[in-house]
Structure 1
Amino acid sequence: MITGEPVPVEKNINDKVSSGTINGNQVFVMQAEKVGDDTLLAQIIKMVNEASRSKAPIQKLTDKVSKIFVPTVVLVAVLTFILWQFFGPEGKKSLFAFVNAVAVLIVACPCALGLATPMSLMVGIGKGAKNGILIKNAEALEQMNKVNVLITDKTGTLTEGKPSVEHIETIDNDKNLILQLAYSLNQNSGHPLSNAVIKKAKEENIKPEKTENFENISGKGVKGNINGKTVYVGNESLLTSHHISISENLKRKAAEVQAKAQTISYVAEGDKVLGFISFTDKIKENAKKAIHQLANEGIEVIMMTGDNEHTAKAVANELGIKNFKANCQPEDKLNEVKKLQQKGKIVAMTGDGINDSPALAQANIGIAMGTGTDVAIESAEITLLKGDISGVAKSRLLSEKLLKISKKTYFLPLFIMFWVFRLRQDYCIRFLEFCCHP
Structure 2
Amino acid sequence: MTLVKGQDALEASGKVTTVVLDKTGTLTLGVPRVVDIHPHGVTAEQLIRLAAGVETSSEHAVAEALRNLAATLVADIPAATDHTVSPGHGISATINGEIIAVGSPAYMDELGVRICPDLTGIVNAATRNGQSTVLVAQGTKAIGAITLADLMKPDAVDAVAALHRLDLQTVLLTGDTSAAAQRVAKSLGITQVRAGVLPTQKVDVIEQLQREGHRVAMVGDGINDAPALAAADLGLGIVTGTHVALKSADIILVRDDLYAIADAITLARATNRTIRTNLIWAFAYNIAAIPIAAAGLLNPLIAAAAMSLSSVFVVHNSLRLQSIRTLRPTERRDD
TM-score bracket, normalised by the shorter chain, equals 0.5 to 0.7
The partner residue of 1:340 within 197, 213, 217 is 213
SS at match of 1:263: strand
SS at match of 1:208: coil
The partner residue of 2:32 within 140, 158, 164 is 164
Paired position in structure 1 for 2:332: none
Two-structure CA RMSD over aligned residues (Å):
5.0
Is contact 1:261-1:310 (8 Å) kept? no
**Which amino acid is 1:368 matched to?**
G
Shift of 1:198: 1.4
Shift of 1:367: 1.8
Query: 1:184–1:348: structure 2 CA closer, same or farther, 3 Å change rule?
Result: closer
Shift of 1:208: 2.0
Map residues 46-61 of structure 1 onto 2, 5 A cutoff.
none
**Which amino acid is 1:392 matched to?**
I
SS at match of 1:298: coil
**Which amino acid is 2:262 matched to?**
A
Residues 183-218 of structure 1 deviation map (CA, whole Å, 9 limit, x = unaligned) = 47624643444432112344xx44524759x78896
Residues 144-153 or 396-405, more deviating? 396-405
The partner residue of 2:203 within 326, 330, 335 is 330
Question: Unpaired runs of 5+ in structure 1?
Answer: 1-127, 172-176, 418-438
In our comparison, the structure showing a higher alpha carbon Rg is 1
Tell me if 1:208 matches 2:75. yes
Shift of 1:369: 2.9
Distance in 2 between the 1:316 and 1:201 partners? Answer: 32
Shift of 1:168: 1.0
SS at match of 1:157: helix
SS at match of 2:236: strand
Is contact 1:165-1:280 (8 Å) kept? yes
Is contact 2:32-2:148 (8 Å) kept? yes
Percent identity, aligned pairs only, is 23
Distance in 2 between the 1:386 and 1:358 partners? Answer: 21
Query: 1:147–1:311: structure 2 CA closer, same or farther, 3 Å change rule?
Result: same
Distance in 2 between the 1:170 and 1:308 partners? Answer: 20
The partner residue of 1:393 within 246, 262, 269 is 262
Shift of 1:335: 4.5
Query: 1:280–1:398: structure 2 CA closer, same or farther, 3 Å change rule?
Result: same
Is contact 1:349-1:366 (8 Å) kept? yes
- Normalising by structure 2, we get a TM-score of 0.54
Matched positions, count: 258
Distance in 1 between the 2:202 and 2:101 partners? Answer: 33
Shift of 1:348: 3.0
Tell me if 1:153 matches 2:26. no
Map residues 119-268 of structure 1 onto 2, 5 A cutoff.
128=1, 133-137=2-6, 140-141=9-10, 144=13, 147-159=16-28, 164-169=32-37, 178=44, 182-183=48-49, 186-187=52-53, 189-191=56-58, 192=60, 193-202=62-71, 205-209=72-76, 234=102, 251-259=120-128, 260=130, 262-265=132-135
Is contact 1:141-1:399 (8 Å) kept? yes
Distance in 2 between the 1:207 and 1:315 partners? Answer: 33
Shift of 1:179: 5.3
The partner residue of 1:359 within 221, 227, 231 is 231
Distance in 2 between the 1:375 and 1:277 partners? Answer: 30
Query: 1:267–1:165: structure 2 CA closer, same or farther, 3 Å change rule?
Result: farther
Shift of 1:394: 2.4
Question: Unpaired runs of 5+ in structure 2?
Answer: 85-89, 282-307, 314-335
Query: 1:391–1:179: structure 2 CA closer, same or farther, 3 Å change rule?
Result: farther
Shift of 1:157: 3.3
SS at match of 1:321: coil
Is contact 1:165-1:277 (8 Å) kept? no
The partner residue of 2:167 within 288, 298, 314 is 298
SS at match of 2:20: strand
Query: 1:338–1:377: structure 2 CA closer, same or farther, 3 Å change rule?
Result: farther
Map residues 98-137 of structure 1 onto 2, 5 A cutoff.
128=1, 133-137=2-6
Distance in 2 between the 1:158 and 1:393 partners? Answer: 14
Query: 1:318–1:266: structure 2 CA closer, same or farther, 3 Å change rule?
Result: farther
Shift of 1:180: 7.3
Distance in 2 between the 1:194 and 1:404 partners? Answer: 47
Is contact 2:237-2:251 (8 Å) kept? yes
- Normalising by structure 1, we get a TM-score of 0.44
Query: 1:320–1:223: structure 2 CA closer, same or farther, 3 Å change rule?
Result: farther
Paired position in structure 2 for 1:380: 249
Query: 1:166–1:185: structure 2 CA closer, same or farther, 3 Å change rule?
Result: closer
Query: 1:242–1:216: structure 2 CA closer, same or farther, 3 Å change rule?
Result: farther
Shift of 1:262: 0.9
Shift of 1:388: 4.2
